Chains A and B, each alone.
Chain A
Amino acid sequence: MLGGFVIIVAFLIAGDLMQRLGVPIPGNVIGMVLLALALKVKVVREEWIEGAVAALVDNLSLLFVPAGVGVMALFGIIQRQWVGIALSIIVSTLVILAFTGAAVKGFGRLLGGGPREGS
């Protein structure tokens, strides 16, 4: 698993450097794409990183907690702006759900498959 973690950090560094060199996307996202590409061209093998990936992704929720605790310093703003924030969450979630669901269902039909393809 250590090897897998080293590989992940290597791609993170690569992405970070690319961002510093001017690519307008967060370094960690660049790293994610680079890793996916590396897997595709078989420079990196799935087995090498599976353990480390699982360790991170399975515990993703834990990683959000410290940042979330940070709202304790923002109670004033939240109190004043909660309506906008609540509407933002509700409206955008509804919109994305409806749009995405309909679009995928729509072109699924167009491409001639049933709802359960891809397995």
Chain B
Amino acid sequence: MSKLKIAKIGYDAGTELDERNFKFNSKNVFKIAFTGNLSVSVHYIDDGFGGAIGEAENSFTHGLGYVPIGFAFDKDTGGQIPMFWHAGAGVAASISYRLDNNKIYISVSDTGVYGWIGDTIVFNFRYQIMYDKIA
């Protein structure tokens, strides 16, 4: 079976052995199935230790029937998830994601100062789900 191979300028696709010197060599490339926005609304409550805590999760249903490769990013900062930060004085946040055979879930766990109790903050994310399979 013949294969489509496209070498970078200066290289011969018929004889080149170094994979880096191809633009495309018929090896798999990730194929995007879904991209979209997902927001997580976090409401802060009393953590019982003099501070505030907010935890929330949202999901997108991909419905592929298998666990796909997927990525998530913070839309406001452009940062790649997972993200962790610790600002000191009990202010810290953890953002992570997971995938199963039906959905991608993005989770936020944020701790802050007492004055945050009762506040709601919306975190905005962008996901990319591939057709390529994990399991």
Q: Is B a genuine binding partner of A?
A: no
Interfacial residues, chain A to chain B (CB-CB below 8 A): none
